Structure 1
Amino acid sequence: MAFGLDVITLPTPQSSLDTRGEYKNEVLYHALQLTVPEYGPYKVNLNGPSMNRKRALLEIQEGRLINVYFAPDDPLWRELTLPILIPIRRGILNYRLLLIHKDNIELFANINTLDELKALKMGAQYDWSTKSYLENYQFTTVTGASYEGLFVMLENKRFDFMLRGVHEIFNEVKEREATMPHLTIEPHLVLYIPTPTYTYVSPRYPRIAKRLQKGLEMMVNNGDLKSIFDRHFSDEIRQAELRGRRILFLEEEHKKQMLRAPKVWFNHELEAP
């Protein structure tokens, strides 16, 4: 049987210190490899132009510069692309630690409720779905224009905290400790926000969407997704000590949903050390 070559193009990271794509790219390659018997060869181009999420949505609809993008759940993305609704990071982004300025450690030691946290200022990139989501919950946000710029703003105390995923924050602090020595991880709190990361495919590439849907379903069922997840994130989950933190839940119902599908979702009560 003759196959065509499926070419997948993703944007480059938003900065030289942005390593958030490494796990997602490995998952992508594995899903493609599992589907070679049915779909044939593939090529992945990781050198598409760098772009923020707003531009990525425009570009992926056209499918010329990029045709696959990974992003948190967003109704507009689901409407305008071919979404694959399998949380490729198993919901680890649901658990947000707080990146703060070292001068404010004592300030956060007295935070025990959502209302107390809402009284402080949160930094967020202007096109992050989390920004509008939390504004609906009456969080006060300070907007940054770029991923890298937000760290600079926090170093200069332009806001009180940034929310970062368990899998992101430790590496982000380490990579910037020489240039931004006042950034630190708040040691007591977790904000739980339902934020599954989905794969979005250009409407011009339905074959690639079907292929990735099949590959990701295979990875969930055979345990490969969890194996890659554990290899990438087990150290960070251990460092986060989630069971010893106060977890502030925005949506309790989502926690129940996770418990019903342990192959799909990470749950700190079942998996965290």
Structure 2
Amino acid sequence: MQIPSFTQNPAAHFSWFLKLVVVAAISLNLFAHPAQAADSKTTLRYFPSGPIYEYRWQLLELALAHTRATDGRVRLVPYTEEISQNRGMELLQAGEINVIALGTNAERESHMLPIKIDILRGLIGFRLLVIRAADQARIAQMDEHALRQQLILGLNSQWADVPIMQASGFTVVTSTNYENLFGMLAAERFDAFPRGLNEAARELEERKDSYPQLVVEKTKALFFPYPVYFWVNKNDTALAERIERGLKLSLEDGSFRKLFETYHANEIATLAKEHRQVIRLSNPVLPEKTPEPDTRWWWK
């Protein structure tokens, strides 16, 4: 750029100087915010995170991809701090977490906004029993009445299935720490740790060196209606609408089902070959008019 002579043309010099200031300001802004300049994605923080929850967030990614053309790009980031479910819900209401994926009950629906599409198709309500291997023969001989009367279950005190099990006649021992429950079971503090069909084997595989005495019980299963939803802040209706629209689109084109079956193929195949006594439980904390889970993708 040719610099004009200030003495010959002061107005031209001022115009040139103004242009230089504007160019410098734009350049400084780009360098000060390189990520913003390069990527205009919206960031959404989610909870809970970890291997057993991977499918849930892949499904959310799928739903958001179906609405990208109209609603823009999104980057999903896990909330990695160790917190309880109750704390996670508090942070959602405070705006520090944007999306959570948990089972429903009436209290949760009064405080948060659910997207009422069961992302696990009833799967999480099909509970296998993690037990001590030495108890396999004893539990296999129990009928339904004996199971309810004699078997002591272990659960996290903040999980929504605690009142379900208690209402069904089970004695429940609780801990506020999920990881502690494996040690408590090994130490004979209770008899069985009910885990979802998609959780039990994976969790034991991850802990086989620490708890080699723990196994999945072979003859029994519990089942109760327990839909799992994505939840957002009560005021974030735009995000709720986007997620719902994306889930419906993925249901229509079959990509939702394909992802579900890909992630749960081993569990579905194993269940088809087993002959378990399935004990059906009611869910007294389920909100009114909640439909029965559609399990046809994995259990007919």
TMscore range, shorter length:
0.7 to 0.9
Q: How does 1:109-128 map to 2 (within 5 A)?
A: 109-128=140-159
1:167 aligns with 198
Q: Scaled by the length of structure 2, what TM-score is found?
A: 0.79
Matched, 1:11 2:47: yes
Q: Per-residue CA shift, 1:51-82, capped at 9, x if unaligned?
A: 21111121111112x11100011211111111
Matched, 1:45 2:81: no
- Distance (whole Å) between structure 2 residues aligned to residue 150 and residue 98 of structure 1: 13
**Contact 1:63–1:203 (Cα < 8 Å) also in 2:** no
1:112, distance to aligned residue in structure 2 (A): 2.3
2:173 alignment partner AA: V
Q: Give SS of 2:51's match.
A: coil
1:267, distance to aligned residue in structure 2 (A): 4.9
Structure 1 moving runs of 4+ over 3 Å: 240-243
- Distance (whole Å) between structure 2 residues aligned to residue 161 and residue 239 of structure 1: 21
Give the fraction of aligned pairs with identical amino acids, expressed as a percent. Answer: 25
Q: Give SS of 2:46's match.
A: strand
- Distance (whole Å) between structure 2 residues aligned to residue 140 and residue 242 of structure 1: 31
Deviating more after overlay: 197-206 vs 21-30: 197-206
- Distance (whole Å) between structure 2 residues aligned to residue 160 and residue 227 of structure 1: 36
2:131 aligns with 100
Q: Per-residue CA shift, 1:58-117, capped at 9, x if unaligned?
A: 1111112x1110001121111111110101111111211110011111111112215533
Q: Give SS of 1:209's match.
A: helix
Larger Rg over CA atoms? 2
1:55 aligns with 87
Q: Which blocks of at least 5 consecutive residues in structure 1 are unaligned?
A: none
How many matched pairs? 255
Q: How does 1:83-232 map to 2 (within 5 A)?
A: 83-232=114-263
1:9 alignment partner AA: R
Deviating more after overlay: 198-207 vs 164-173: 198-207
**Contact 1:120–1:140 (Cα < 8 Å) also in 2:** yes
1:212, distance to aligned residue in structure 2 (A): 0.5
Q: Per-residue CA shift, 1:200-222, capped at 9, x if unaligned?
A: 10124222111101111112222
1:26 aligns with 58
**Contact 1:112–1:246 (Cα < 8 Å) also in 2:** no
**Contact 1:12–1:50 (Cα < 8 Å) also in 2:** no
- Distance (whole Å) between structure 1 residues aligned to residue 60 and residue 127 of structure 2: 24
Q: Give SS of 1:20's match.
A: helix
Q: From the superposition, tell whether residues 192 and 33 of structure 1 become closer, same or farther in structure 2 (CA, over 3 Å).
A: same
Q: Give SS of 2:90's match.
A: helix
1:163, distance to aligned residue in structure 2 (A): 0.6
2:5 aligns with none
- Distance (whole Å) between structure 2 residues aligned to residue 67 and residue 230 of structure 1: 27
- Distance (whole Å) between structure 2 residues aligned to residue 243 and residue 170 of structure 1: 14
Q: From the superposition, tell whether residues 138 and 251 of structure 1 become closer, same or farther in structure 2 (CA, over 3 Å).
A: closer
Q: Give SS of 2:155's match.
A: strand
1:11 alignment partner AA: F
Q: Give SS of 2:231's match.
A: strand
1:181, distance to aligned residue in structure 2 (A): 0.6
> RMSD across aligned C-alpha pairs, in angstroms?
2.1
**Contact 1:94–1:193 (Cα < 8 Å) also in 2:** yes
Deviating more after overlay: 157-166 vs 36-45: 36-45
